[in-house]
């Protein structure tokens, strides 16, 4: 982690996003030199869940329902690019002889834009403006869509393939509804407590981080979906008008620590051999996914209130997927759902977009001129 | 047009410029959304000139020319509604107020234009610290001599305008204990403060403006950040001391007071003197620090009273000595007579902070107030 941190700070001087450096260090030290073996630290997943939970909470909190109601083209664009991506990748999977279930799982993961990647890249650039706003909002929306599509694919797919999985099939719906319920209840409880307790501004980030951690581990303990619970928690905080004062972004040292660990842990877990096996389909899916996301955002730029160029850049900024997809896959695996045999294909996509994703977001922000000088 | 000639304009007509804040609706910090908003407004019709300001979190709207403040108020309301609708479309908040309560100056981005980049290179960090928001009021003058006479006579009443518009008690995340902290940011600029004392336009040009142009320290009147400055290309004097009020009705009312005051000064054939400079800085500071409760030293009599009393006395004199009042002037006086006892914008912001406990709530209040609030006198029709 020290090496990753040092390299991250060093390369930031040349404009390289920190998370990109963490990924490269993770790939070099993990599958490259075999210095890190995630299998040897099974407790690591608690830290990764926590770090991902913080990012999902933050991006859920940024989702402004009032804006979505006023400018409905944002939802239309997001739903459009999610459906286009899902259908296109599903088609790729079927054409490459994957089963319908495998193709659907792969497609649902590709719908997402990794929230932690776009958050960290925009924070590194200290960016503010329309492209940044669209990237973050659409990342929240399509991550939510991806989780629901993923769970739906698992539920429906298992139903159609084997009767032995009936308990699991029923559990999927239970997991989705219970995760949402847990998050809403947790947000309501926080709103009540917040009225009674005066929280000093400098301790807000710490308190929220602890609370998000509690919800993450509660969801994990109850065998629900921590990813879904934390993103809904953020949305519910916003909907209940709970104002988070001070600098909650990144959640200070908690967030930094979690981010470095998460990227190292996830990158180190990628198998070069698996990625090689799924290389052709993986690369093709990366291109198709880029085309659908960039194409849809560019096409919808005018109704969104943006220029064509900014629409294009918003689409380009939606490239990162790796960390989020791998964590969702891993969380499902922990719940007893198998990886559905799509790990090689997704490993290729993840490997490719571990590098290109943050780079694309960083370039989108730089080219839009929204970064701090 | 010749930089030195003063374009005659219809006496006592009004114009206004308002600098407004663009706010991120997630964390309530300032958002660098000026360019995006301007591009969207290019596609929509809006009855005002909307232009960028020094940093990318600010915009300025300019409207003119109006015969009275009620006409201005109606116009500003329409412009406000158009602006709010455009900002809503882009997920931006928009509000008045002289400062953003907790933005950090070093996080601001200079708006990419040649002029602003040059200003930024010249002033360094001061340029980013200049992310403060003011209201500028133009009053038409028949000639340059009248403009300078009015300009210097108005200096005595600067504390009234500061107290009337004060809306910047918080700055960089702290309660400054000032009612208007914005003016402290402007004071750092070398060409700020009070305009040099000249009562004749020809002398002003020959002995001050023209030599300044030859030094290349300034290129136009725009480079002077005086509290009141002549604007020869418009044929106006421009009052620049006011914070942007929390709503446009109040902005129009302040313009109404300026018009009334100028009319009274012209009717009473005011003759400003240089000795008024003596107490100017003290009065100005008192108004910034304490608002209506500040001390006011009368420049002529040297008697001390509160700014509130001085304001009430001045409004009464205007009412008595101006002669036949128009409907708009009467409506203005009616509101001004009660406003001294109303909460100022600064007090309202402090009150929200006391009750709600966070500066984010203060920003939320400012946005809500800008969008919906009308002045107490809004029912008065033209």
The mean per-residue pLDDT over the stretch A204-222 comes to 89
Pairwise CB contact (< 8 Å): B357 & A198: yes
The model's pLDDT over A139-178, given as tens digits with 9 standing for 90+, comes to 999 998 998 888 888 777 665 555 454 456 667 788 889 9
What's the rounded Cα separation, in Å, for the pair B163 and B243?
Answer: 9
Count of all residues that appear for chain A in the document: 373
Mean pLDDT across chain A, nearest whole number? Answer: 86
- Nearest residue on chain B to A127, alpha-carbon basis: B32
Query: Is B163 exposed, middle or buried (CB count within 10 Å of its CB: 0-12, 13-18, 19+)?
Result: buried
CA distance A20 to chain B (A): 23
Strands (E), B107-176: 134-140, 170-171, 174-175
The pair of three-digit structure tokens given for residue A81, joined into one six-digit string: 């690019």
Residue B381: its pLDDT value, please?
Answer: 35
Residue A158: its pLDDT value, please?
Answer: 64
CATH of the domain at A210: 1.20.1530.20
Residue A159: its pLDDT value, please?
Answer: 59
Between B256 and A371, whose confidence is greater? B256
CA distance A222 to chain B (A): 31
Residue A161: its pLDDT value, please?
Answer: 54
pLDDT of A100 strictly over 60: yes
Closest CB to B360 among A64, A245, A306: A245
The model's pLDDT over B310-345, given as tens digits with 9 standing for 90+, comes to 999 999 999 999 888 899 999 999 999 888 666 789
Q: What percent of chain B has pLDDT over 90?
A: 69
What's the rounded Cα separation, in Å, for the pair A54 and A212?
Answer: 6
Structural domain contains residue A300:
yes
Q: What percent of chain A has pLDDT over 70?
A: 89
- Nearest residue on chain A to B44, alpha-carbon basis: A305
State the pTM of this model.
Answer: 0.89
pLDDT of B377 strictly over 60: no
- Nearest residue on chain A to B89, alpha-carbon basis: A71
Closest CB to B112 among A128, A249, A369: A369
Pairwise CB contact (< 8 Å): A67 & B25: yes
Q: What percent of chain B has pLDDT over 70?
A: 96
DSSP conformation class of B177: S
Which residues have CB under 8 Å from B35's CB, separation 6+?
A: A129, A369, B52, B56, B111, B112
Residue B200 Cα distances to B140, B267, B270, angstroms: 17, 19, 14
The mean per-residue pLDDT over the stretch A89-97 comes to 90
Which residues have CB under 8 Å from B222's CB, separation 6+?
A: none
The mean per-residue pLDDT over the stretch B39-56 comes to 89
pLDDT of B378 strictly over 50: no
Q: Is the ipTM of this complex over 0.90?
A: no
CA distance A66 to chain B (A): 9
What's the rounded Cα separation, in Å, for the pair B216 and B210?
Answer: 10
Structural domain contains residue A253:
yes
What is the number of other CB atoms lying within 10 angstroms of the CB of residue B348? 19
Task: Return the closest-CA partner of residue A84 out of A284, A288, A281.
Answer: A288
pLDDT of A255 strictly over 70: yes
The mean per-residue pLDDT over the stretch B165-171 comes to 96
Closest CB to A130 among B28, B36, B360: B36
The model's pLDDT over B278-322, given as tens digits with 9 standing for 90+, comes to 899 999 999 999 999 999 999 888 899 999 999 999 999 999 998
Find the chain A residues whose C-beta atoms sit closer than 8 A to any C-beta of B: 61-62, 64, 66-67, 70-71, 126, 128-130, 133, 137, 198, 201, 238, 243-245, 248-249, 305-307, 310, 369-370, 372-373
pLDDT of B72 strictly over 80: yes
Answer whether A365's CB lies under 8 Å from A125's CB: yes
- Nearest residue on chain A to B33, alpha-carbon basis: A129
The mean per-residue pLDDT over the stretch B198-222 comes to 89
The helix (run of H) or strand (run of E) holding residue B164 is helix B158-165
Among A128, A197, A249, A301, most B C-beta atoms within 10 A, so best to mutate, is: A128
What is the number of other CB atoms lying within 10 angstroms of the CB of residue B275? 11
Structural domain contains residue A160:
yes
pLDDT class of B266 with cuts at 50, 70, 90: very high
pLDDT of B375 strictly over 60: no
Count of domains observed in chain A: 1
Domains of chain B (ranges; CATH) run 14-372 (3.30.590.20)
CA distance A107 to chain B (A): 30
Structural domain contains residue A45:
yes
Structural domain contains residue A104:
yes
Which residues have CB under 8 Å from B63's CB, separation 6+?
A: B15, B16, B17, B47, B48, B49, B72, B75, B76, B79
The pair of three-digit structure tokens given for residue A59, joined into one six-digit string: 């991006």
The pair of three-digit structure tokens given for residue A259, joined into one six-digit string: 């981010």
Residue A61: its pLDDT value, please?
Answer: 92
Backbone angles phi, psi at B93, to 5 degrees: -95, 155
- Nearest residue on chain A to B26, alpha-carbon basis: A62
pLDDT of B132 strictly over 70: yes
Closest CB to A61 among B26, B28, B88: B26
What is the number of other CB atoms lying within 10 angstroms of the CB of residue A348? 24
Residue B35: its pLDDT value, please?
Answer: 94
Task: Return the closest-CA partner of residue B102 out of B155, B173, B157.
Answer: B173
Between A50 and B46, whose confidence is greater? A50
The mean per-residue pLDDT over the stretch A23-27 comes to 92
Three-state SS for chain A is CHHHHHHHHHHHCCCCCHHHHHHHHHHHHHHHCCCCCHHHCCCHHHHHHHHHHHHHHHHHHHCCHHHHHHCCHHHHHHHHHHHHHHHHHHHHHHHCCCCHHHHHHHHHHHHCCCHHHHHHHHHHHCCCCHHHHHHHHHHHHHHHHHHHHHHHHHHHHHHHHCHHHHHHHHHHHHHHHHHHHHHHHHHHHHHHHHHHCCCCHHHHHHHHHHHHHHHHHHHHHCCCCHHHHHHHHHHHHHHCCCCCCCCCHHHHHHHHHHHHHHHHHHHHCCCHHHHHHCHHHHHHHHHHHHHHHHHHHHHCHHHHCCCHHHHHHHHHCCCCCHHHHHHHHHHHHHCCCCCCCCHHHHHHHHHHHHHHHHHHHHHHHHHHCCCCC
Answer whether A82's CB lies under 8 Å from A147's CB: no
What's the rounded Cα separation, in Å, for the pair B85 and B77?
Answer: 12
Domain that holds residue A61: 2-368
Residue A334: its pLDDT value, please?
Answer: 66
The pair of three-digit structure tokens given for residue A163, joined into one six-digit string: 């009767």
pLDDT of B103 strictly over 50: yes
Structural domain contains residue A157:
yes
Structural domain contains residue A373:
no
The pair of three-digit structure tokens given for residue B79, joined into one six-digit string: 């412009």
């Amino acid at each position: 982690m020290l090496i990753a941190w040092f390299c991250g700070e060093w390369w930031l001087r040349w404009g390289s996003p920190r998370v990109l450096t963490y990924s490269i260090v993770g790939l070099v030290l993990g599958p490259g030199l075999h210095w890190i073996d995630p299998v040897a630290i099974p407790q690591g997943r608690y830290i990764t869940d926590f770090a991902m939970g913080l990012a999902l909470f933050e991006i859920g909190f940024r989702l402004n329902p009032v804006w979505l109601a006023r400018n409905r083209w944002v939802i239309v664009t997001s739903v459009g690019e999610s459906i286009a991506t899902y259908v296109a990748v599903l088609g790729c999977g079927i054409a490459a002889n994957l089963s319908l279930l495998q193709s659907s799982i792969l497609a649902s993961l590709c719908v997402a834009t990794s929230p932690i990647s776009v958050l960290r890249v925009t924070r590194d650039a200290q960016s503010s403006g329309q492209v940044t706003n669209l990237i973050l909002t659409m990342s929240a929306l399509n991550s939510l869509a991806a989780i629901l599509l993923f769970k739906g694919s698992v539920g429906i797919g298992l139903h159609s393939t084997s009767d032995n999985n009936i308990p699991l099939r029923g559990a999927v719906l239970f997991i989705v509804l219970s995760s949402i319920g847990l998050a809403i209840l947790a947000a309501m409880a926080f709103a009540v407590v917040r009225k009674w307790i005066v929280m000093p501004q400098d301790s807000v980030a710490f308190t929220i981080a602890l609370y998000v951690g509690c919800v993450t581990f509660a969801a994990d303990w109850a065998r629900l979906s921590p990813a879904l619970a934390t993103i809904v928690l953020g949305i519910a905080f916003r909907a209940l008008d709970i104002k988070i004062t001070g600098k909650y972004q990144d959640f200070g040292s908690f967030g930094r620590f979690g981010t470095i660990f998460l990227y190292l842990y996830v990158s180190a877990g990628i198998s070069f051999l698996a990625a090689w096996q799924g290389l052709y389909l993986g690369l093709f899916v990366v291109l198709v996914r880029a085309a659908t996301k960039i194409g849809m955002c560019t096409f919808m730029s005018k109704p969104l209130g943006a220029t064509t160029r900014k629409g294009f850049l918003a689409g380009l900024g939606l490239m990162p997927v790796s960390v989020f997809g791998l964590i969702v896959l891993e969380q499902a695996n922990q719940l007893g759902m198998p990886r559905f045999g799509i790990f090689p294909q997704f490993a290729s996509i993840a490997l490719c977009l571990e590098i290109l994703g943050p780079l694309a977001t960083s370039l989108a922000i730089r080219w839009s001129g929204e970064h701090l000088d | 047009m010749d930089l030195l000639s003063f374009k005659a304009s219809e006496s006592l007509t009004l114009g206004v410029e308002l600098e407004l804040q663009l706010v991120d609706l997630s964390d309530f910090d300032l958002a660098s959304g000026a360019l995006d908003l301007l591009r969207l407004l290019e596609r929509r019709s809006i009855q005002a000139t909307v232009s960028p300001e020094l940093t990318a979190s600010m915009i300025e709207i300019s409207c003119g020319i109006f015969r009275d403040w009620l006409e201005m108020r109606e116009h500003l309301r329409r412009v406000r509604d158009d602006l709010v609708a455009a900002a809503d479309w882009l997920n931006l908040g928009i509000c008045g107020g002289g400062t953003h309560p907790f933005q950090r100056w070093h996080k601001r981005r200079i708006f990419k234009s040649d002029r602003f980049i040059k200003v930024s290179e010249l002033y360094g960090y001061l340029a980013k610290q200049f992310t403060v928001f003011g209201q500028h009021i133009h009053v038409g003058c028949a000639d340059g001599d009248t403009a300078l006479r009015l300009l210097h006579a108005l200096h005595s009443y600067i504390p009234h305008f500061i107290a009337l518009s004060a809306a910047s008690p918080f700055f960089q995340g702290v309660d400054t204990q000032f009612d208007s902290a914005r003016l402290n940011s402007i004071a750092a600029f070398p060409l700020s403060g009070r305009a040099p004392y000249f009562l004749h336009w020809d002398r002003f040009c020959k002995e001050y403006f023209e030599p300044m142009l030859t030094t290349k320290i300034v290129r136009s009147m725009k480079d002077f950040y005086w509290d009141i400055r002549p604007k020869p290309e418009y044929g106006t004097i421009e009052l620049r001391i006011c914070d942007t009020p929390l709503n446009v009705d109040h902005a129009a009312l302040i313009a109404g007071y300026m018009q009334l005051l100028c009319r009274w000064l012209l009717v009473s054939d005011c003759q400003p003197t240089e000795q008024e400079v003596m107490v100017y800085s003290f009065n100005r500071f008192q108004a910034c620090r304490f608002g209506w409760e500040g001390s006011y030293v009368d420049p002529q009599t040297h008697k001390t009273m509160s700014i509130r009393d001085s304001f009430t006395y001045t409004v009464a004199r205007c009412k008595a000595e101006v002669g036949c009042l128009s409907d708009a002037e009467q409506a203005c006086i009616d509101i001004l007579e009660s406003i001294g006892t109303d909460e100022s914008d600064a007090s309202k912001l402090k009150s929200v902070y006391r009750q709600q406990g966070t500066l984010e709530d203060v920003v939320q209040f400012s946005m809500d107030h800008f969008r919906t609030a009308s002045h107490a006198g809004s029912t008065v029709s033209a």
